[in-house]
């Protein structure tokens, strides 16, 4: 009779040990569309899968529904206080009737279920009964199609009755409740505490503009360390459901050894306190064996990874002369132990430090890339691509190093920093000759990448912060972490969406297909930004002025193109060349990718050696195939239709004790 008890005890101990194994803190998943094979989505209420999409609601009255990722998502580390950055993008359709209330993307304590009486404007997030509302922790991005102000929306009004909340709202002219596909990107950056919602749809559509709304908040103060992520929705009495067509999510919280040991120690203490004396012995023995095996496997994986990384780099550089391999000690001394006073800047992929090498005796910029999986991919991508290309308008890679868990790239030092620091610096206003030289230089770099390399290089992240300037303000394009190689005869390559909002071509944002034409779009936006001295998207701006391309096109159509030029130039420029460059910028940023020029046509047009496309007075609407729309929502009359992304109201809520 003792054996069954011992077996049960061992079973309990094994389960306890398994619970001690830490989960990965970083989470990434992608659903380009939904089908019966799609795993990892849990449905609540009337939500369910149908016709390649998630239906959050049904046609029945007072319908509510949720679709939630099946695992908890770590947001911050309770021992180290590290907080994650995360990005999620999704496309959706809201019911076209007046009785629909909208939908929300939310983060809430895990596990999370739809509360009772949460229909109507409560969007399956909160209990609508005044007698039972309890304080809760939740952050939500609401796409409201019924009522767009706190005074007219009871759901928003009720938020004001709970302490410790903050909310940012933007109201748009166009309605989401038109049965039209919409595309949203939600991004949180902990270093700036910035929670941003970006809404994209083709520019030029009447009453529908690109929008971005931001809210400053600290996730650690708003949410528990692990949360549920997903979508919720409700409607009163509508005939069509709210649908989610695609969903991508990536978080970047890194595990620390202190966190792993701390969580294991806490759980071990609970297990031992509840166990028996015999369990203590067995637990210790099994724990030792498992920890020893895990350590051995970890060392083997690290050794295999280091060997694989070395092989990847060696294959990238080949047998010829290429960038030099530095030791970690050399770069540590060059940057004075990566001291803060040597830091030149930081971005999504890492930090950049100024360094002084002794062999050779030169000044360099050392980029320290995150050792996450994403960072490793960008590191290999950058050395693979930039090691085989060389041009006067490309930042030169001098060397590299991957030791002690660090991924380091060594570049030539650019004394004037990046272009964006000069475009918006009133202490030194870039003169017209400098701006002209920068546009021509960046165009020359793209010509080399697109047409003169052995393989075509698609940069995918062309923006002012990636254009570096030397002491004479000669431009050099850098940051090839997101770049991809493709054959010259290929039209495009399908990748995960990458780049920066405002510089992403509309067809790339909708389909995920990068091409030379998407680089040309980014170049057009950068050209207009250089000429106008303003960012591509102005937040909280009047609708007609929010989008740079739309604003310039409107003035160009009214034959008032020169009125958009940076007023700090005080008209000290050549009008004919400026007008030609504005026309070329608009040509490159044309919503229809088939109408954009090649980079060689761009250079010829700027130099008056070739024509410019005759542009219509009003910006056209982009036309391309909708990749994520199910058959029931596609037009049977015309398989190609405009992807119109429109929103009537977006609410970015950070609520504590709602």
Task: Mark the binding-site residues for ATP, compressed into ranges.
Answer: 367
Q: For residue 350, what are the contacts with CB-CB under 8 A and spacing of at least 6?
A: 367, 368, 369, 370, 375, 407
Please state, in angstroms and rounded to a whole number, the distance separating the CA atoms of residues 40 and 37. Answer: 10
Q: Which two tokens stand for residue 329?
A: 């000690």
Binding-site members are 367
Q: 279-310 burial string, b = 16+ CB within 10 Å, else e? A: beebbeeebeeeeeeeeeeeeeeeeeeeeebe
Please state, in angstroms and rounded to a whole number, the distance separating the CA atoms of residues 78 and 318. Answer: 45
Q: Greatest CA separation found in the chain?
A: 98
Helix (H) / strand (E) element for 155: namely helix 154-159
**Residue of 95, 101, 144, 461 marked active site:** 461
Strands 324-325 and 397-403: parallel
Q: Going along 98-242, which residue ranges are E strands?
A: 100-109, 137-144, 165-171, 181-189, 194-200, 211-216, 226-235
Phi and psi at 27, nearest 5°, equal -130, 135
Q: Which long-range contacts (CB under 8 A, 24 or more apart) does 126-129 make?
A: 126/155, 126/158, 126/658
- CA dihedral over 254, 257, 263, 267, signed as positive or negative: positive
Which residues sit opposite 141 in a β-bridge?
105, 652
DSSP of 283-313, one letter per residue? Answer: HHHHHHHHHHHHHHHHHHHHHHHHHHHHHHH
414, 476 Cβ separation under 8 angstroms: yes
Please state, in angstroms and rounded to a whole number, the distance separating the CA atoms of residues 342 and 336. Answer: 8
Please state, in angstroms and rounded to a whole number, the distance separating the CA atoms of residues 52 and 31. Answer: 11
Please state, in angstroms and rounded to a whole number, the distance separating the CA atoms of residues 202 and 648. Answer: 16
Query: At CA 346, angle to CA 344 and CA 352, rounded to 5?
Result: 50
- CA dihedral over 306, 310, 316, 322, signed as positive or negative: positive
Q: For residue 481, what are the contacts with CB-CB under 8 A and spacing of at least 6?
A: 349, 369, 378, 379, 381, 382, 461
Q: Which residue has the tokens 């067509």?
A: 245
Q: Return the axis-axis angle of helices 516-532 and 575-588, rounded to nearest 10°.
A: 140
Nearest CA among 326, 325, 331, 328 for reference residue 313: 325
Catalytic residue check, 461: yes
Q: Provide the 8-state DSSP code for 619.
A: P
DSSP of 379-421, one letter per residue? Answer: HHHHHHHHTT---TTBPPEEEEEEETTEEEEEEE--TT-BHHH
Phi and psi at 172, nearest 5°, equal -115, 150
Kindly list the catalytic residues. Answer: 461
């Amino acid at each position: 009779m003792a054996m069954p008890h011992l077996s049960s005890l061992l079973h309990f101990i094994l389960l306890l040990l398994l619970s001690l194994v830490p989960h990965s803190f970083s989470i990434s998943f992608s659903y380009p569309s939904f089908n019966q094979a799609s795993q990892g989505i849990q449905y609540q209420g009337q939500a369910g899968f149908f016709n390649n999409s998630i239906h959050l609601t049904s046609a029945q009255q007072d319908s509510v529904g949720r679709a939630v990722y099946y695992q908890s998502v770590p947001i911050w580390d309770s021992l180290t206080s590290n907080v994650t950055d995360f990005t999620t993008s999704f496309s959706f359709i809201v019911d076209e009737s007046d009785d629909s209330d909208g939908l929300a993307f939310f983060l809430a304590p895990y596990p999370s279920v739809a509360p009772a009486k949460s229909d109507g404007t409560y969007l399956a997030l909160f209990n609508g009964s005044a007698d039972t509302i309890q304080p809760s922790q939740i952050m939500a991005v609401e796409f409201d199609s019924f009522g767009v102000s706190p005074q007219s929306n009871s759901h928003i009004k009720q938020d004001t009755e709970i302490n410790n909340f903050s909310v940012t709202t933007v109201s748009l002219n166009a309605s989401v409740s038109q049965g039209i596909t919409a595309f949203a990107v939600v991004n949180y950056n902990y270093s700036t505490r910035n929670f941003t919602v970006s809404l994209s749809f083709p520019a030029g559509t009447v009453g529908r503009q690109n929008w971005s709304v931001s809210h400053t908040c600290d996730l650690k103060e708003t949410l528990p360390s692990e949360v549920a992520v997903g979508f919720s929705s409700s409607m009163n009495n509508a005939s069509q459901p709210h649908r989610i067509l695609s969903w991508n999510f990536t978080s970047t919280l890194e595990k620390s050894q202190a966190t792993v040991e701390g969580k294991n120690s806490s759980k071990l203490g609970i297990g031992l306190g509840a166990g028996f004396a015999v369990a203590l012995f067995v637990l210790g023995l099994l724990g030792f064996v498992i920890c020893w095996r895990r350590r051995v496997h970890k060392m083997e994986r690290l050794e295999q990874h280091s060997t694989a990384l070395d092989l990847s780099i060696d294959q990238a550089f080949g047998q010829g002369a290429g960038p030099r391999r530095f030791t970690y000690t050399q770069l540590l001394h060059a940057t004075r132990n990566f001291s803060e006073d040597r830091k030149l800047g930081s971005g999504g992929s890492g930090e950049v430090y100024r360094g002084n090498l002794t062999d050779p005796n030169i000044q360099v910029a050392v980029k320290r890339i995150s050792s996450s999986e994403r960072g490793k991919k960008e590191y290999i991508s950058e050395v693979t691509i930039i090691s085989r290309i060389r041009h006067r308008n490309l930042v030169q890679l001098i060397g590299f190093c991957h030791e002690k868990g660090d991924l380091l790239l060594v570049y030539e030092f650019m004394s004037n920093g990046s272009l964006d620091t000069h475009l918006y610096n009133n202490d030194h206003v870039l003169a017209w000759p400098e701006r002209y030289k920068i546009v021509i230089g960046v165009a020359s770099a793209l010509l080399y990448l697109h047409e003169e390399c052995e393989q075509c290089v698609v940069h995918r992240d062309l923006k002012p912060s990636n254009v570096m300037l030397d002491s004479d303000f000669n431009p050099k394009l850098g940051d090839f972490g997101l770049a991809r190689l493709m054959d010259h005869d290929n039209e495009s390559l399908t990748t995960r969406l990458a780049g920066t909002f405002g510089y992403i071509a509309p067809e790339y944002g909708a389909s995920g297909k990068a091409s030379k034409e998407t680089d040309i779009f980014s170049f057009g936006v950068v050209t207009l930004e250089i000429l106008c001295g303003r960012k591509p998207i102005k937040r909280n701006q009047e609708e007609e002025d929010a989008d740079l391309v739309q604003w310039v096109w409107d003035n160009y159509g009214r034959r008032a193109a020169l009125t958009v030029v940076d007023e700090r130039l005080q008209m000290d420029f050549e009008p004919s060349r400026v007008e030609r460059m504005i026309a070329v910028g608009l040509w490159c940023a044309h919503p229809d990718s088939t109408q954009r020029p090649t980079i060689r046509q761009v250079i010829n047009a700027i130099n008056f050696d070739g024509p410019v496309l005759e542009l219509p007075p009003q910006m056209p609407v982009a036309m391309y195939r909708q990749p994520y729309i199910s058959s029931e929502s596609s037009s049977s009359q015309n398989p190609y239709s405009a992807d119109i992304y429109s929103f009537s109201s977006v609410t970015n809520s950070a609520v504590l004790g709602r």
